[in-house]
């Protein structure tokens, strides 16, 4: 990952993008892909698509989702404190005592989700409050003062900046799934640099965390020959991972090819073959029922789009301290560019009988 690519990733991670309010992050993504795409367009809900026109080969969509989990202001009480609801799968066990940003029409407002000091809490109470029971303190004197600052419906994100760890590891909030849209953009750039004869759509979807909604729109609109949803997946290489949740995914061992359910056997085989041909290590993961990613929306679009979930190993998912290995991101972009190059000779990815 060169300095320009790293700066792009940092800009994506620094830009708040809760579900339903993805426009700022989409602007960052569009500004980057416009430099090498043949066309960039958006739809009415803000899904963004960048196109590399490779000619007569198949059309391949490679997408991630721009939105992140967070909160939304549901009410303002008479004392000037804000009540909240979760946006997406927000973890109540790591939500209290967090500095946050309330994203208002006039810009971000600083706040804190309250937590009573340990001195005055019942130390035997191990229960976590539901997010709807928590209150957000923006320092307002009363309700009128608070309403001058914020409004019901304003989204809220944790104030957590990305930070490097040892080696190629990176931590921050919202890695799920700004790393996926980084890979989608880089796949397009690298496919173009290699002269792939497939048409590649790099896609940055909205509202994945609240129901794969953007992918449903884009999948119908593009109707590609194949689609790859790039999203984070659970790494099990740390002591906090439950011992009864079996997988073999580790940071730094390469992108993860999912098998089963949504994942089309021909696309799985083609991506694995491309990895072998260019010497990229991949990991395997089983998905017995669903992937939980945009692939679940892509593959049922129209009469069916052969789809794959390509995973990026991630520790501590849906917390403000997610961890990925940036080498895995680079490898994923190289792999999918190679897949686009090698797919040029295919007529379709249909199952053969």
Annotated binding site for Zn(2+): 65, 176, 209, 231, 318
Give the DSSP H/E element, type plus range, for residue 285: strand 283-286
What are the structure tokens assigned to 127, written together? 């229960």
Sign of torsion over alpha carbons 66, 67, 69, 75: positive
**Of 22, 68, 186, 208, which is the active-site residue?**
208
Give the DSSP H/E element, type plus range, for residue 82: strand 82-87
Q: Compute φ and ψ for 5, nearest 5 degrees.
A: -65, -40
- Cα(142)–Cα(148) distance, integer angstroms: 10
**Beta-bridge partners for 227:** 61, 307
In the block, tokens 């803000």 appear at 46
Q: Tell me, what DSSP letter sits at residue 321?
A: T
C-alpha closest to that of 62 among 175, 174, 182, 176: 182
Sign of torsion over alpha carbons 113, 118, 122, 128: positive
- Whether 40 and 48 have beta carbons less than 8 Å apart is answered as yes
Centre a 10 Å sphere on the Cβ of residue 167 and count the other Cβ atoms it contains.
Answer: 11
Rg (CA), the chain: 21
C-alpha closest to that of 227 among 329, 330, 340: 340
- Whether 69 and 19 have beta carbons less than 8 Å apart is answered as yes
Three-state DSSP class for 300? coil
Has 208 been annotated as catalytic? yes
Strand blocks (E) in 159-247: 163-164, 169-172, 199-205, 226-234
What residues are labeled active site? Answer: 208
């Amino acid at each position: 990952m060169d300095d320009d690519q790293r700066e792009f990733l940092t800009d994506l991670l620094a830009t708040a993008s809760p579900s339903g309010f993805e426009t700022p992050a989409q602007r960052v993504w569009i500004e980057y892909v416009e430099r090498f795409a043949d066309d960039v367009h958006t739809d009415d809900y803000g899904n963004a698509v960048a196109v590399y026109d490779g000619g007569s080969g198949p059309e391949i969509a490679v997408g991630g989702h721009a939105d992140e989990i967070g909160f939304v202001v549901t009410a303002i009480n008479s004392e000037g404190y804000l009540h909240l609801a979760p946006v997406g799968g927000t973890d109540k066990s790591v939500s209290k005592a967090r500095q946050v940003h309330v994203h208002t029409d006039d810009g971000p407002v600083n706040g804190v989700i309250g937590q009573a000091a340990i001195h005055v809490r019942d130390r035997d109470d191990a229960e976590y409050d539901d997010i709807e029971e928590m209150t957000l303190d923006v320092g307002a004197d009363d309700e009128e003062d608070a309403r001058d600052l914020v409004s019901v419906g304003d989204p809220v994100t944790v104030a957590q900046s990305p930070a490097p760890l040892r080696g190629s590891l990176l931590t921050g909030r919202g890695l799920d799934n700004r790393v996926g849209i980084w890979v989608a953009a880089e796949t397009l750039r690298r496919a173009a640099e290699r002269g792939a004869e497939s048409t590649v759509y790099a896609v940055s979807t909205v509202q994945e965390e609240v129901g794969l909604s953007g992918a449903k729109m884009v999948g119908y609109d593009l109707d590609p020959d194949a689609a790859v949803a790039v999203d984070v997946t659970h790494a099990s290489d740390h002591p906090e991972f439950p011992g009864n949740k079996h997988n073999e995914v580790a940071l730094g061992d390469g992108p993860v090819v999912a098998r089963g359910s949504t994942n089309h056997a021909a696309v799985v085989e083609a991506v694995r073959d491309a990895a072998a041909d260019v010497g990229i290590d991949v990991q395997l993961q089983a998905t017995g029922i669903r992937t939980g990613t945009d692939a679940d929306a892509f593959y049922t679009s129209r009469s069916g789009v052969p789809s794959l979930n390509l995973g990026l190993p991630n520790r501590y998912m849906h917390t403000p301290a997610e961890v990925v290995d940036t080498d895995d991101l680079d490898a994923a972009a190289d792999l999918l560019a190679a897949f686009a190059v090698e797919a040029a000779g295919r007529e379709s990815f249909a199952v053969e009988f």
